[in-house]
Amino acid sequence: MRILIAEDELLERKAMKKFIEQNFADMTVVGEAVNGRMAIELAAAEKPDVIFMDIKMPGINGLEAIREIHKVHPQTKFILVSAYDSFDYAKEAMQYGIKDYILKPGKKEEIVKAIMRIKKELEAEKEQQQQSRAIIEERFLQHARKQKGAGELVALKQQLFPEMKSGNFLVITFSDHKHGDQLEEVLASICPYTFIYQLAEERVIVCILADVVMGKAELLSMAKKISNQLAGAVYIGIGFPVKRVEKLYQSYEQAYTASLQLATDQKSNFSFPSEKVQDTARGNLLEALVGLVEKGNGDEAVQLFQQYHVQFSESMLEELYLNIKSLFMERDMELGVRAYSMLKTSEDWCDFLLLSCMHMQQLHQSKQYMEQVKQYIAEHYQEPLTLEKVAATVQLSTNYFSNLFKQELGETFTDYIAKIRMQQAKKLIESNQYTLKEISYMVGYNNPNYFSRVFRKHFNESPKQFQRSIFK
Amino acid 64: pLDDT: 87
Among 233, 248, 127, residue whose Cα is nearest residue 179: 233
Domain CATH number, residue 381: 1.10.10.60
Give residues with Cβ within 8 angstroms of 401, minimum separation 6.
387, 390, 391, 394, 413
CATH number at residue 82: 3.40.50.2300
Q: Where are the alpha helices (DSSP H) in 244-313?
A: 248-265, 275-295, 298-308
> Residue 245 falls within a domain, yes or no?
yes
Q: Nearest Cα to 205, choosing from 135, 270, 247, 142?
A: 142
- Closest listed residue to residue 52, CA positions, set 80, 72, 30: 80
Q: What are phi and psi of 238, to 5 degrees?
A: -110, 130
* Number of helices (H), then strands (E), in the chain: 19, 10
Residues 116 and 8 placed together within one structural domain of the fold: yes
Question: Under a CB-based contact definition with an 8 Å cutoff, are residues 293 and 356 in contact?
Answer: yes
Domain with 256, as residue range(s), is: 145-273
Whether 236 contacts 188, CB under 8 Å: no
**CATH at 250:** 3.30.70.270
Q: How many beta carbons lie within 10 A of that of residue 106, not counting itself?
A: 19
Residue 299 lies in a domain: yes
Q: Report the C-alpha gap between 296 and 193 in whole angstroms.
A: 47
Let me know whether 371 and 342 are in one domain.
no
Instruction: Based on the fold, state whether residues 393 and 349 are members of the same structural domain.
Output: no
Strand ranges of the sheet holding 194-200, from the earlier edge strand across to the other edge:
194-200, 203-210, 166-174, 234-238, 270-271
On whether both 120 and 169 belong to a single domain, the answer is no
Please, which residues have CB within 8 angstroms of residue 426's CB and are 6 or more apart in sequence?
A: 459, 466
Please choose, from the candidates 294, 211, 312, the residue with its C-alpha nearest in 3D space to the C-alpha of residue 256: 312
Give Cα 381 distance to the centre of its chain: 56
Backbone φ and ψ of 100, nearest 5°: -155, 160
Determine, yes or no, domain membership for 140: no
Count of Cβ atoms closer than 10 Å to residue 76 Cβ: 19
* Domain identity same for 179 and 265: yes
Question: Which pLDDT belongs to residue 191?
Answer: 93
DSSP, res 95: G
Residue 370: inside a domain, yes or no?
yes
Shared domain for 341 and 386, answered yes or no, is no
Per-residue pLDDT of the chain (472 residues), as tens digits, is 899 999 888 888 898 888 888 888 889 999 999 999 999 999 999 999 999 888 888 888 888 898 889 888 888 888 888 766 555 665 565 566 566 777 776 677 888 888 888 888 888 877 776 677 788 888 898 888 876 667 888 888 998 899 999 999 999 987 665 656 678 888 999 999 999 988 876 788 999 999 999 999 999 999 999 888 887 668 899 999 999 998 898 898 889 888 887 877 778 889 988 755 455 556 677 888 888 888 888 888 888 887 777 667 777 888 888 888 888 887 666 665 567 888 888 888 888 888 888 888 877 777 778 888 888 888 888 888 888 988 888 787 888 788 878 877 888 998 999 999 999 999 999 888 889 999 999 998 989 899 999 999 988 999 998 888 877 6
Q: How many whole angstroms separate alpha carbon 324 and alpha carbon 339?
A: 12
Q: How many domains does the chain have?
A: 4
Instruction: Name the residue among 226, 251, 221 with its Cα closest to residue 239.
Output: 251
As a whole number of Å, the CA-based R_g of the chain is 41
Q: What are phi and psi of 282, to 5 degrees?
A: -70, -40
Q: Strand, helix or coil at 172?
A: strand
Residues 239, 255 contacting (CB under 8 angstroms): yes
Distance CA 5, CA 111 (A): 13
Which strand ranges, in their side-by-side order, compose the sheet holding 2-6?
A: 28-33, 2-6, 50-54, 77-82, 98-103
pLDDT of residue 236: 92
DSSP state for residue 472 in the 8-state scheme: -
Residue 234: what are its φ and ψ, rounded to 5°?
A: -120, 130
CA angle (42, 43, 45) in 5-degree steps: 60
If asked whether residues 310 and 379 sit together in one domain, one would say: no
